[in-house]
Structure 1
């Protein structure tokens, strides 16, 4: 992605840490945590890889196409799972956004050659609005309404899962802004 080097490395660290925590949630005793953790880990690590500054690692065009295929498949899986719950619709939008950004990055060299353009496409704007609203909604739910006993394991903490979703939403906004 394009942008300041220090901000890119912070985004890489944030997304990688989020992906690592989501892997920890795969061992949770709570089924809901396990059900969503795999897709969220894929998103976290995928976002971390995509956010590595281009000055450090400029992937070849085929790598962006691999990202597009992986996240396209994740979007199809989320579409299939969406019949069970609304949260999978968010995974669908997130996976689609990642595939969209990967395709845009694969096409970027050709776009730079033309130096013409009318700004951000409408789809980028729609995704920005969606993720900005998601960040606000998730952030408002971060503080629990009632205090109860803390779950035993780190992978069973719903407030940490919400914090990870918030971090990934903020990361998605940052990545879309660089498009």
Structure 2
């Protein structure tokens, strides 16, 4: 696993398309209990080299019900974005993740996990890649229990998604407590 992560961190597959250059950001341990699969690091994360070190990460840790200390232990959480590098800015939020990373690297990383981790699919890109069917994100999040025990789909915690959260208050009232309990059980 360590060699594989080193290889990924040295990847330059998409470098010519990246406005800030290649800087793959991920973390994993063969014993990780939970794998966070999201879209791609944002600019702040790219610059700090620390995954989820931004407002999205703050909201994500709140949803998961974990401290920073617990979150940043790779035996607890692995971080495996759909694209490992910052893709650039779009009109609202960031550009979509580059499509080369996940097919190139994900399965190789997944093959190294030894303890049947829980995969939290964060946002529509991760859900579309890992879940069959054409259901939209809202449907998948609302019906999260049908994807358990392997997957748990959630929206992206980005401030850009505040409108989705305001239109779907049931997520934080009903789904987040279930997610927190599952995380607590998995980490104990």
TM-score, normalised via structure 2 length = 0.30
The structure, 1 or 2, with the larger RCO (C-alpha pairs under 8 Å, 6+ apart) is: 1
TM-score, normalised via structure 1 length = 0.31
Is the strand fraction higher in 1 or 2?
2
Could you say which structure has the larger radius of gyration?
A: 1
